[in-house]
Structure formats: structure tokens, C-alpha cells
Chains A and B, each alone.
Chain A
Amino acid sequence: GESVGLHLPTLSVQEGDNSIINCAYSNSASDYFIWYKQESGKGPQFIIDIRSNMDKRQGQRVTVLLNKTVKHLSLQIAATQPGDSAVYFCAENMLGTGNQFYFGTGTSLTVIP
């Protein structure tokens, strides 16, 4: 069945360092992935997405890597800032299932000033 999990529940980094958040997914039929950031009391906020026909996608200070062979996803945040402190989720979607996304438990990122 579908499951999305994260390797580390918590991550602390120094301000200015790069952060890497990992995610494993189990459904090889998943073909679209989104990383979300969720701050306390707010809904998930879209960060970056990637389709299964790509292995890398870059945004502003963020990069998502997809390794379909081992069903692994990672989010890299460059020059991490205090405002990046939040819980990060990866979510997977299978073609034909509309807007049904399966979320992992999340990684709590704390940026130390």
C-alpha cells in the first residue's frame, strides 16, 4: 500500500548552513511529489514539486532530488534561515487519483541563530 515516511523526525542546523530533509516512499506507482512546509497554526505551504520523469528540480534556495530506484526523495535548503524553522512534509500522488496525496509524518527543522 501507499506509505510515505521520513528518516529523521527532528533536524537542527546552524543559521547559514545547508539543510537536507529526507523522505522514503513505498509506492512505485507514485508519479508526482510535493514538499510542504507547515508552521505552527497554519496549513501546509507548497515549497516545490517534482514529477517522476525528473530527478532534480530547483527553486529559490531549495532543491528537490528524486531517486526512483530506491524510492527516495530529499529536500535541500541552502543557507538556512530562522524563518525556515517549521515541519516539512513530503507528499506523494499517483496518476489517476486526482488530488489524493499521501503525507509522511514530517520532519521538524529548527534553525539555530
Chain B
Amino acid sequence: DAGVTQSPTHLIKTRGQHVTLRCSPISGHKSVSWYQQVLGQGPQFIFQYYEKEERGRGNFPDRFSARQFPNYSSELNVNALLLGDSALYLCASSPRGGANYGYTFGSGTRLTVV
């Protein structure tokens, strides 16, 4: 069975550019969450989507946005990139919106902003 898949695996962008990261949840999972993990730190919650609706938002600026598609895949968009946006971006999926239902992470997208 395929796990949570994220693309691309690595990405290099220039300050001020825009980036789109993609996530495909485990088949049958309807909830997707996004996290940012800066080197040497734990993941920090950005967004949760369940049944295509935003269910939670972390303490991130409006430059960060996301959406979930009818097939439950998701995109994370970041505008006006800053050097500090360099991080591993993780996607996690679960069958439902609650926390204790098979919460599984992907391997992430490594974003480097130069």
C-alpha cells in the first residue's frame, strides 16, 4: 500500500518567489495536515484540511495557504519566499478529522530558499 506521498522531494527557490508543494494522502484518508520542520527543531503545525474544508490553522503568516481537492490530495502554497522559509515541509494524513485515527506522515519536501 502506498503511504503518504509528497512532491517534489527537494526544491530550491529564490527569495520572493512562490512555491507549491503537493501531497497525496493514503487511500481512503480524508484529512491532510501540513507541518514545517526547521532544521534541528520539531515539526510545527501549519494547516489541517478535512473533507476539503480548513479545520485548523497554525501561527503562520498569510503568505502560507493551502487547499484540498475532491480526491483529498492537497497543495501548500507559499508566496514571497523568505530565507527563513527554508525547511522540511511535512504532510500527514488520517482517515478522519480527529487526531487518533492512523495519523501518518510523508517523507516531506525539502525547500531551500536562496
Contacts and interface: CB of A to CB of B under 8 A. Distances in A.
Does chain A bind chain B?
yes
A60 interface: no
B105 A99 contact: no
B42 A103 contact: yes
A101 B107 CA distance: 17
B86 interface: no
Interface in B16-34: 31, 33
Q: Which of A93, A98, A103, A106 has the most CB of B within 10 A?
A: A98
A75 to B, nearest CB: 14
A51 B42 CA distance: 21
A51 B97 CA distance: 17
B94 interface: yes
A59 interface: no
Contact of A98 (B44, B98, B107): B98
Contact of A100 (B41, B58, B106): B58
- Chain A contact patch, size range: 20 to 34
Given A43-B90, A43-B108, A44-B90, A99 B103 contact: yes
B41 A99 contact: no
Interface in A58-113: 89, 91, 93, 97-106
Interface of B: 4, 31, 33, 35, 40-45, 48, 50, 55-56, 58, 90, 92, 94, 97-100, 103-108
Given A32-B100, A91-B43, A100-B58, 9 more contacts: A44-B43, A46-B104, A51-B100, A98-B50, A99-B56, A100-B48, A101-B45, A101-B103, A105-B41
